[in-house]
Structure 1
Amino acid sequence: MGGVLRGIFGYCFLIFIVRIVGRRPGKQITPSEFVLIFFMGGVTLTPMVGDDRSLTNALLTITSIAVTHFVIAWLRQRFPAFAKVVDGTPLVLLKNGKWQTETMVKMGISEEDVMAMARDQQVNTPDDIEYAVLERNGEISVIPASADS
């Protein structure tokens, strides 16, 4: 039973830590998916190197983590406010050619990070961008300014 509680607590704690650390461009998974991958790797290794080497404990812990992940995924779908807590919300980095400096500093993203993504879409200057948004999965979406604005 201790393994189950440690698994559930560890999963929730890692989601909290990933949310505090923040998003960086290039990540294409949500914080809960990152935690699941990270945690499963650690738990899978535990029976090989830890004090409790029983396969039963490892399987029970892995199962509890998987069930916790599915419950959290269900809660995210059912309750949008819960999804915002777990995964965050999209953040505007550039609006109508104006850098949102406070948000960028908070998230640790430079103007060059944004412009690198913009150049992938053949947008070369901030003035040509209506919005640049840091998505929940860490990608930066660039919405070019319309020609008539």
Structure 2
Amino acid sequence: MIRLLGVSWVVAGSVVIATLAMYAAVIVLVRVLGQRSMANLSSSDLGCVVALGAVMGRTMLLRTPTLVSGLIALVTLFAVRAILGALRSHPAVDRLLSRRPVLLMDGGQVLADNLRRARVNENELRQVLRLAGITRFDQVRCAVLERNGAISVLRDDGQLDPRLVADL
């Protein structure tokens, strides 16, 4: 039956392997390039993502994509996403898949080494501070590059619950 739909079991297996390899490659590249590589995409970043999707899709579907091979790749991607979502509850897997948050500012002081390590420049940091309504650096308790690539800003306006910064 599957042969009638244009895909043999060997091709179906190849699609699964290619899809897993491409998914793993994206995770590794994002991990190497840093969280900011996927946050707040500019127009050139969006063009890159679209091209990346085309390359990944073509690679996952092999030389002669069919409806069934496309569905196999789609199901594989959703399955991997669901499995990784479940595995993230284990701290070791979570650390492997995501970088830790990075402290960018502490008590109004910009931490230049951490900015450099996180590949965030001061212009990006200032933009985030303005968007958070910060008018003076001394208003900032801390600024954090989060695991998802976003930068969060906590104001210095009272007692900070230590649980909010326990993972820093």
TM-score range normalised by the length of the shorter chain: 0.7 to 0.9
Residue in 2 that maps onto 1:79: 90
Residue of structure 2 equivalent to 1:107: 118
Partners of 1:26 and 1:46 lie apart in 2 by 21
- Give aligned-pair identity as a percent: 22
Instruction: Indicate which of 121, 128, 139 corresponds to 2:132.
Output: 121
Which whole-Å CA distance do the structure 1 matches of 2:152 and 2:76 have between them? 35
* Structure 1 residues 36-47: aligned runs within 5 Å: 41-42=53-54, 46=58
Query: What secondary structure is seen at the aligned counterpart in 2 of 1:2?
Result: helix
Deviating beyond 2 angstroms after TM superposition, the runs of 4 or more aligned structure 1 residues are 23-26, 37-47
1:5 partner letter: I
Root mean square deviation of aligned Cα: 3.1
Counterpart of 2:109 in structure 1 is 98
Q: Which runs of 5+ in 2 are unaligned?
A: 1-12, 42-48, 160-168
Structure of larger gyration radius: 2
SS of equivalent to 1:24:
helix
Mapped contact 1:93–1:133 kept (Cα < 8 A) = yes
Report the TM-score when normalising by structure 1.
0.77
Of 138, 141, 146, which residue of structure 1 is paired with 2:152? 141
What is the rounded CA distance, in whole Å, between the counterparts of 1:81 and 1:39 in structure 2? 32
- Structure 1 residues without counterparts, runs of 5 or longer: 30-36
The normalised TM-score by structure 2 is 0.70
Letter in 1 for 2:129: A
Larger displacement relative to structure 2 (7-16 or 118-127): 118-127
Cα 1:113–1:93 change in 2 (3 A) is same
8 Å contact 1:26–1:138 — kept in the other structure?
Answer: yes
Task: Report the counterpart of residue 51 of structure 1 in structure 2.
Answer: 63
- Paired with 1:105 and 1:130, the residues of 2 have a C-alpha distance of 20
How many residue pairs get matched? 139
